[in-house]
Amino acid sequence: MKIEDLKKTFNELYGESDNDISGYFAPGRVNLIGEHTDYNGGYVFPCALSFGTYLLVRKNGGRKIKFATMNFDHRGEVSLDEPFEKEGKSWINYPLGVVSELRNRALEVEGIDMLYSGDIPNGAGLSSSASIEMVTGTALNDLFGFQIEKMELVKIGQNAENNFVGVNCGIMDQFASGMGAKDHALFLNCETLDYEKVPLVLNGIRIVITNTNKRRGLADSKYNERRSECEKAVEEISKVRPIPNLSRLSLDEFKELKENITEEVVRRRAHHVISENDRTLRAIDALNKGDIEEFGELMNQSHNSLRDDYEVTGKELDVLVDEAQKIRGTIGSRMTGAGFGGCTVSLVKEESIEEFIRVVGDNYEKQTGVTPDFYIAEVGDGAKRIEV
């Protein structure tokens, strides 16, 4: 992303001004292990990526916020003197939701011109929406001197998506985008928000993200369905042992209590969440011990559970993971994100990456008719101001 090009487009859109243009960046994220646990009060292990959303912003001296992006044709503006209204399924709802959440906290912004540009693949499940929310919150916090702590900005981003956009997401995506640290992953307890930065010492191994290039059409509806199935499991277990969420149970405790869940499919959903928490804890322990092979095996087990117990993978993700695991230099591979399309994340030895991309790509295309995209991921910092 060339900031000078973005700055030139900004001035073409909004005209020259004596007011300074400020620049900000917030990354996308990939979750290494701990999937569909965040809204169950569980453990996740994401890292921020080196690609994400850039934002240039400038005060315009008026009472309107003007929105534009390099990624879509649709632009818009809203008046600060009128109630905010959601605009269909427009991307503008994400930054507008952040402004709305600030307003709910009695923090008012002035008129501003905003130009976004993202290099996260659209629909890949690498959290472009969270990066938009976090870059917006970071910019407004800096520009208007709100002095909001970073963790509170993370909560504002999540609330914007829950309350304004209407997506009942957990906090992981905004947390990873806001709190990320270069060459570290984030071990987060989603119930308490206690977290630890864990060094990613991979020693000749790279993180490879593979995009199925399948639109995730089922992701939203199935996501809500899985949430309600987990809530049902909590409700039924709570009749004999009150718990606020599934993540309060260990695997051994679940084995004793699982027969209280009347439906087999709901029992399997709960088993995934509780076993995934156990895998995440063991994976971080393995990483801290330098046992990357064990970490990779737990990634493989995570995918199996997401496929069999949680049923959120689908043919494309399963083919990618199956083909990835056949490559000798693959340490581990799994789906990442909501599922039903989107991406896989794999740990691959550097000397095997060329073979991985060629063989996995060819075999995936033969079986699905779709060409995948590959990204060698760099682990970067969280949301921040940048020089323009």
C-alpha 56/C-alpha 25 separation (Å) is 9
Tokens of 243: 């718990």
The identity of residue 282, as a single letter, is R
Catalytic: which of 18, 113, 142, 173? 173
Our answer to whether residue 309 is catalytic in this structure is no
C-alpha 118/C-alpha 133 separation (Å) is 12
C-alpha 173/C-alpha 343 separation (Å) is 15
DSSP classification of residue 233: H
C-alpha 70/C-alpha 142 separation (Å) is 23
Residue with tokens 């963790």: 151
Is 341:317 a contact under the CB 8 Å cutoff? Answer: yes
Is 337:302 a contact under the CB 8 Å cutoff? Answer: no
What is the sign of the dihedral through the CA atoms of 29, 159, 75 and 224?
Answer: positive
Question: Which sequence positions are flagged as catalytic?
Answer: 173
